[in-house]
Amino acid sequence: MKHTKYPVLVQQMIFEEMTNVILLLLSLGSFNVKKMIKLTQKKRLNKPGGMVFCTGSPNEEIYISNIIYNQGKPVREIQEPILGIVRGLNVKKDWFQDFFEGEREYLWRTHANKIVFPEVEGLSICISASSPKNISIKHFEGYDLMMGPLKNSDFYKTECLRVKGLGSVVLDILRYNEGRQVEISCCGPYKYLRLGNFINRWKTGAAHHKLEYLSIDIYNLMDWSPIPKADILEYTGCGKLDESKFGPLHTAPLVCGSHYRTQTTPSFWSHDYVVRETDNRVASVKIEDFRFIFGVWEMTEREFLEMSAKEEPNLLENLNLLFD
């Protein structure tokens, strides 16, 4: 069917009945058709969304991901598959960017046994591993099975990492990770001193330069002692805010936020904080039983203390002080 023989208004009505996938495929056949689609569907193509590249499985596909919003919050995701094998990831990304003018998020999912990170500009790598049966760190490029995990492995460059139940691998993640957001759930035994070493590496500016948020939940399957909060805070030289007021609430936008109902990291507040020596940046530190949370602020210690001074009084804490 030749769309160009119809008036512009009729072409617009025809295009509006088509899915994004059909429009994308039509745009490949003719420059004039592509130009007309972009002219009549500009508002639609400018909506935020994403491209999902699925590799390593028998049916390798690409999905156009459309996020449905309600009152500014994502409530549902619609995925339109594009048939065909994924080849030339960088080429396809350029192709999509030329067609979709709005801001797009590119998500790469893989089930391959050997995982080599694609070198694509602007591609955020997010990994979620729920069991050692599903994924092993030795599958990643840069990991030598005989020598153990290497600190320059691509695995540690992952911007968003969620790991559950990988045991001793957690220690290497905590030491070498240079990503932005890390969520770890693990079962021990766990050497709590490693948490203090992690804080000190960040504090001195020796590592974790891009880190925004880190949480570790340790499952207490035996009669273990909780994280020694006082010892770690003293060991790392953490500062403390006025406990008669609530601490500031920390949260950060998720790296792959548009694919989750919640687009931010879990919020938390704490009276304990640490200052990075190289740039005077601040991070909140929360230690509670078997949970450790670390959140970095985009502000100096002075700015952080000024903000904290404006927090509401903690009435419960004030009552406790009266009866002490």
Q: Is the pLDDT of residue 35 over 70?
A: yes
Q: Which of 73, 54, 50 is nearest to 62 (CA)?
A: 54
Assigned token pair, 137: 């760190």
pTM of the model: 0.67
Predicted pLDDT at 317: 46
pLDDT in tens, 176-206: 888 899 988 877 666 788 899 999 999 999 9
**So where are the chain's domains?**
126-324
Euclidean distance between CA atoms 305 and 102, whole angstroms: 38
Predicted pLDDT at 143: 42
Euclidean distance between CA atoms 293 and 260, whole angstroms: 21
130: number of Cβ within 10 Å: 13
Residues 270/282, Cβ–Cβ less than 8 Å: no
